[in-house]
Structures are given as C-alpha cells and as structure tokens.
Structure 1
Amino acid sequence: MKYKAVAFDMDGTLLASNRLILPETVAMIEKISAQGVKVILVSGRHHSVIYPYYYQLKLSTPAICCNGSYLYDFEKQQSFAGKPMTKEQAKTLLNLVNQYGIHTLIYTDQMMTYEVLDDHLEGFFKWVNSLPSFLQPEIKKVDSFDRVIDEAGAVYKFATSSHDLPALRQFSDAVEALNQFSCEWSWSNRADVAVKGNTKGNGLMHWAKHENIDLSEIVAFGDSYNDISMLTLAGLGIAMGNADDEVKAKADHVIGDNNSTSIASELEKLFL
C-alpha cells in the first residue's frame, strides 16, 4: 500500500513534552512533503494555536481543529466544514459548567477565551510568550462567557478541566445525557465538549473527501482517547508508546513515546 497522507494528533504525539516538535521529526516531515505526501494536523486546539506549528512545518493543507468541529484553511484564512454549537446549546453547556464548578475555555470562530486563569493556562502562556509576536495566538480574558456566546460568530468547543475528577466525570455524564454533545477526553483531567458527531475521525473524513484521498491511503498517529476515531478510520493507525492501553488496543501498531524519535523512524520506514 502506498500511503498518500499522514495525519498527526499534536499534544502527546507530534509534540514532545516541552510542546516542541523534535528536530528529527521536522526534518523527516520536510522530506516526505517534498515527495508529495500530504501532512495534516488534527487537534483539539483552536486554529490559532495550531498555526505556529503549521508555519514551522511549511504546510499547505487545511488543519482539522477542535476535534473535527471545523477545518481551517490558513492560506485563505477561513474555516469550512464547520459544525458549531447553537447559542442555546452553548448557554446550556455554560449552565452545567457553572453548576459543577468546572473550569472552561470557550473556543469561538475568532479566538480562545477564559474567565479564570488556572495552572494549565499558566503553562500555555509560557509557550505563547516564547513565540515570535507574529505567531502568538490570541487568548482573551473575558468578564462574561454569556457575552462571548452572544457576540461570537460561532462557538466550536468548551475546553473543560478540573483537578476534582469525580466532579469532572459527573459533569461529563450530565453533558452526554443531553444527547446533543460529545465529551472527548484529551487528558486525564481535561474533557473537550463539542456538538455530537464532531470527532477527529469525522474531521479526517471531511478532509479526505476535500483532498480526494481515500481513508485507506492515510496514516494516522495519536495517543489519546479523542484520537481513537481517527486511528480506527485511517488505513494505518499508529499509537504512541505513551498512550493508554485502551488507545493502543485500537491501533494497528504501537511505537515509542512522544519524547523519542520514533515518529521520524516510522515515517522513514513508510515513505523512504
């Protein structure tokens, strides 16, 4: 099988623990891109937070953002194939966030917003401040999420988190019970909430159709539960060594962890 494209989850997969792409991986992606292999970033992230890596890798493909909630074309600076929440759905979610005392960020068509700074955001801002100014994404502190929802052109995702795991699971169960949303766990204490059906796998299907590539011709790399839909749809699903056993069980193949050069080695085997 000659694969035509590679889809990468970012955090925990393409990115090492320091939020950087290993130089060996960068070099290998440049080599396979030069041979015509399409490389696509598939992330729970907002497009503005994907862009620094897109720029570094010199990509021209759209990115799959917010776990498949929309695709973003950086060259045209516009989204497509999007399925945002209605205002009513977003207000319903906000009520649940407040009811269970869960921290959240709201991702709109323009930016990421937050009301309260937490430890995860502090680490995120360190990364943002390390970037050249033209690559720094906008993340805005707001006084009222209600106003954000009212004024947004689109609301794509609530990025929820809590160190109180029982509370987060209760919140997640309450969200799922509404049968309007899906909770995609991106980390042990973080759950991304979007409209039901918005998954990385469905985002990959939209992209493959857009590019006229069969899913069987795509290799996908991932490490977390929100990557399973993508790993099982792709022609070859590869789990990272740092993934949980349940994720590994859904993949065709398991390699080393995200701090090793295993992605570069695997790409070399597959494409060179």
Structure 2
Amino acid sequence: MKYKAVAFDMDGTLLASNRLILPETVDVLKKISDKGIKVILVSGRHHSVIYPYYYQLNLSTPAICCNGSYLYDFENHKTLAAKPMTKDQANILLNLVNHYGIHTLIYTDKMMTYEVLDDHLEGFFKWVNALPAFLQPEIKKVDSFAKVIEESKAIFKFATSSHNLPALQQFSQAVDKLDQFSCEWSWSNRADVAIKGNTKGNGLTHWAQHEQIDLNEIVAFGDSYNDISMLTIAGLGIAMGNADDEVKSHANYAIGDNNSPSIAAELKKLFL
C-alpha cells in the first residue's frame, strides 16, 4: 500500500513531554513532505494552540481541531466543516460543570477562555510565554462563562478536568446520558466535551473526502482514547508506547513512547 498522508495526534504523540516536537521527527517530516506526503495535525486543541507547530513544520494542510469539531484553514484564516454546539447545549454543559464542581475551559471560534487558573493551565502558560510573540495564542481569563456563551459566535468544546476523578467520572456519565455530546477522555483526569459525532475519526474522514484520498491511504498515530476513532479508520493505525493497552488494542501495532524518536524511525520505514 502506498500511503499518501500521515495524521498525528499531538499531545502524548507528536509532542514529547516538554510540548516540543523531537528534532529527529521534524527532520523526517520535512523529508516526507518534500516527497508529497501530506501531514495533518489532528488534535483536541484549539486552532490557535496548534498554529505554532503548523508554523514550525511549514504545513499547508488544514488542522483538525477540537477533536473533529472543525477544520481550520490557516492559509486563509477560516473555519471549515464546523459543527459547534448551540447556546442552549453550551448552557446545559455549564450547569453540569458547576453542579459537579469541576474545572473547564470553553473553546470559542476565536480563543480559549477560562474563569479559574489551575495547575494544568499554569504549565500551559509557561509554554505560551516561551513562544515568540507572534506565535502566542490568546487564552483569555473571563468573569463569566455565561457571558462567553451569550456573546460568542460559536462554542466548540468544553475542556474539563479535575483531580477529583469520581466527580469527573460522574460528570462524564451525566453528559453521556444526555445523548447530545461526545465526551472523550484526552488524559487520565481530562475529558473533552463536544457535539455528538464530532470525533477525530469523522474529522479525518471529512478531510480525506475533500482531498480525494482514501482512508486506506492514511497512516494515523495516536496515544489516547480520543484517538481511537482515527486509529481504527486509517489504513494503518499506530499507537504510541505510552498509550493504555485498550488504545493499543485498536491500533495495528505500537511503537516507542513519545519521548523517544520512535515516530521518526517508523516514518523512515514507511516512506524513506
């Protein structure tokens, strides 16, 4: 099989623990891009937080953002194939967040917003502040999520987290019972909530159709539960060594972890 594209989850996969792409991976990605292989980033992240890596890799493909809630065309600065939640749905989620006492960020069409700074965000801001000014995404502290929902053109995702795992699990179960949302775990204590059907697999499918590339011609790399939908539909699904066994069971095989040059080695085998 001659593969035409490679899709990457970011955190825990393409990115090492320091939130950087290993230099070996950068080098190989440039070589396969020069050969015409399309590289696409598929992430739970907001497009503004994907952009620094898009810029570093000199990509031209749109990014699949917020777990497939929309594609973002950086070259033309526009959102594609967007499926945001309604304001009523966003308010339902906000009520649940408040009821279970968990932390959230709300991702709008423009930026990421938060009410309370938590330890995860503190680490995130260290990364943001280390970037050149023109690459720094806007993450805005707000006084009222209700006002954000009221005034935003689109709400794409609630990024919820808690060190109280039972509370987060109860919240996730309550969301699932509504049968309106996809609640996908992106980390052991973080769950992303978007409209039902907004998955990385569906986002990748939409992109492939637009590019007239068969899904069997795509290689996908991932490490978390929200990557399963794309690992299973791609022609070749590759799990990272740091993935849970259940995630690995949905991939064709697993390689080394995200802190080793295993992606670079695998790409060399497949394309060079």
| TM-score, normalization by structure 2 | 1.00
2:184 & 2:153 partners in 1: Cα distance? 23
The answer to whether residue 254 in structure 2 is matched with residue 259 in structure 1 is no
| 1:203-214 → structure 2 map (5 Å cutoff) | 203-214=203-214
1:197 & 1:182 partners in 2: Cα distance? 7
User: What residue is the counterpart of 1:65 in the other structure?
Assistant: 65
User: What residue is the counterpart of 2:239 in the other structure?
Assistant: 239
User: What residue is the counterpart of 1:161 in the other structure?
Assistant: 161
1:216 & 1:233 partners in 2: Cα distance? 8
User: What residue is the counterpart of 1:107 in the other structure?
Assistant: 107
Give 3-state SS (helix, strand or coil) of 2:20's partner: coil
2:100 & 2:241 partners in 1: Cα distance? 34
Q: Deviations over 1:216-248 (max 9, x none)?
A: 000000000000000000000000000000000
1:143 & 1:262 partners in 2: Cα distance? 43
1:112 & 1:212 partners in 2: Cα distance? 32
| 1:219-230 → structure 2 map (5 Å cutoff) | 219-230=219-230
Give 3-state SS (helix, strand or coil) of 1:160's partner: strand
Structure 1: which 5+ residue stretches go unaligned?
A: none
Give 3-state SS (helix, strand or coil) of 1:6's partner: strand
Give 3-state SS (helix, strand or coil) of 1:32's partner: helix
Aligned length: 272
The answer to whether residue 119 in structure 2 is matched with residue 126 in structure 1 is no
Structure 2: which 5+ residue stretches go unaligned?
A: none
1:269 & 1:5 partners in 2: Cα distance? 15
Q: Please state how far the C-alpha of 1:182 moved relative to its aligned partner.
A: 1.0
| TM-score, normalization by structure 1 | 1.00
Give 3-state SS (helix, strand or coil) of 2:237's partner: strand
Give 3-state SS (helix, strand or coil) of 1:99's partner: helix
User: What residue is the counterpart of 1:188 in the other structure?
Assistant: 188
1:229 & 1:54 partners in 2: Cα distance? 23
User: What residue is the counterpart of 2:173 in the other structure?
Assistant: 173
User: What residue is the counterpart of 1:200 in the other structure?
Assistant: 200
Give 3-state SS (helix, strand or coil) of 2:17's partner: coil
Q: Deviations over 1:189-215 (max 9, x none)?
A: 000000000000000001101111000
1:48 & 1:210 partners in 2: Cα distance? 23
1:54 & 1:210 partners in 2: Cα distance? 20
Amino acid at match of 2:239: A
Give 3-state SS (helix, strand or coil) of 2:6's partner: strand
User: What residue is the counterpart of 2:79 in the other structure?
Assistant: 79
2:252 & 2:125 partners in 1: Cα distance? 36
2:202 & 2:94 partners in 1: Cα distance? 25
Give 3-state SS (helix, strand or coil) of 1:208's partner: helix
Give 3-state SS (helix, strand or coil) of 2:64's partner: strand
User: What residue is the counterpart of 2:31 in the other structure?
Assistant: 31
The answer to whether residue 139 in structure 2 is matched with residue 139 in structure 1 is yes
User: What residue is the counterpart of 2:51 in the other structure?
Assistant: 51
1:211 & 1:59 partners in 2: Cα distance? 15
Give 3-state SS (helix, strand or coil) of 1:117's partner: coil
Amino acid at match of 2:34: A
2:159 & 2:168 partners in 1: Cα distance? 12
1:153 & 1:75 partners in 2: Cα distance? 21
Amino acid at match of 2:52: P
Q: Please state how far the C-alpha of 1:253 moved relative to its aligned partner.
A: 1.2
2:184 & 2:200 partners in 1: Cα distance? 10
Q: List, as ranges, runs of 4+ consecutive aligned residues in structure 1 with deviation greater than 4 Å.
A: none
User: What residue is the counterpart of 1:12 in the other structure?
Assistant: 12
1:167 & 1:241 partners in 2: Cα distance? 29
Structure 1 vs Structure 2: percent identity of aligned residues?
82
Q: Deviations over 1:161-202 (max 9, x none)?
A: 000000000000000000000111000000000000000000
2:207 & 2:253 partners in 1: Cα distance? 23
